[in-house]
Structure 1
């Protein structure tokens, strides 16, 4: 199960992930942001969702930062890294975390509909999972959830509609 992390500082990177989420929203993307930190807390990569911009359903913030980090490091494992994301990862991103061997996941808002860490498939807890990261959920949960709520209220108010 997740442990709440109450200290926003402590190198959690959540402020940076929330900034990336806000920037994604300004581009018309679902406001999810992610940051990947190395073992010393240095930023390896940061991104917001780019699904609409790239017309790529896999261009979630988490996927973008994991791909960029392995490209930079010239190695496919991120066991010494922390993935900080503003929203509980979906099934695709949770499965990718196992393949990238991410050492620690810190996320903001819980996602009862689309999440796959604490909801739905709960992939990190399944017996057949390749790798289980340390998981810390609910960091800046209220702020992360409000970004999403506001984005979708605005989208619905404009008569638009978008999946995922």
Structure 2
């Protein structure tokens, strides 16, 4: 998770939104950051960037069984991409506060239930949650 947090710091320094993600598979590790502002691409969230980069690097169209570590709870778009990619486990650094974003009140667990896919992916919160939450409190 520390590598994902490094990516979030890099994104913030580059003028992007401070989010980072890391994909881990038997083939290796890919770390990416949010690139929404720098690429003028509203879909360039760190999770999507990490999935795209990993698939392209390894020449695959599925990340079945991969581990994804992300500094912040994925939005619905990113979570859909995570499920479509076949990620087997998701570790979240910090959770969003319900009602704080314009996307509605959700958690990834609630999205899994809504989709009828509750057993498709293991979800856990990382032990670094406190320092990550502190980072977001000061990152603005």
Normalised-by-shorter TM-score class: 0.7 to 0.9
More helix per residue:
2
SS at 1:132 equivalent: coil
Matched residues in 1 for 2:127 and 2:35: separation?
Answer: 23
* Residue equivalent to 2:114: 126
1:94–1:124 CA contact under 8 A, matched in 2? no
Correspondence 1:106 to 2:91: yes
Shift of 1:79: 1.5
1:19 aligns with: 6
Question: TM-score scaled by structure 2?
Answer: 0.86
| Residues paired across the two proteins, number | 134
Work out which of the two has the higher radius of gyration on C-alpha atoms and give 1 or 2: 1
- Once the two structures are superposed, the pairs formed by residues 37-116 of structure 1 within 5 Å of their partners are 37-39=24-26, 42-43=28-29, 45-112=30-97, 113-114=100-101, 116=107
Gaps of 5+ in 2: none
User: What RMSD in Å do the two structures reach over aligned CA positions?
Assistant: 2.0
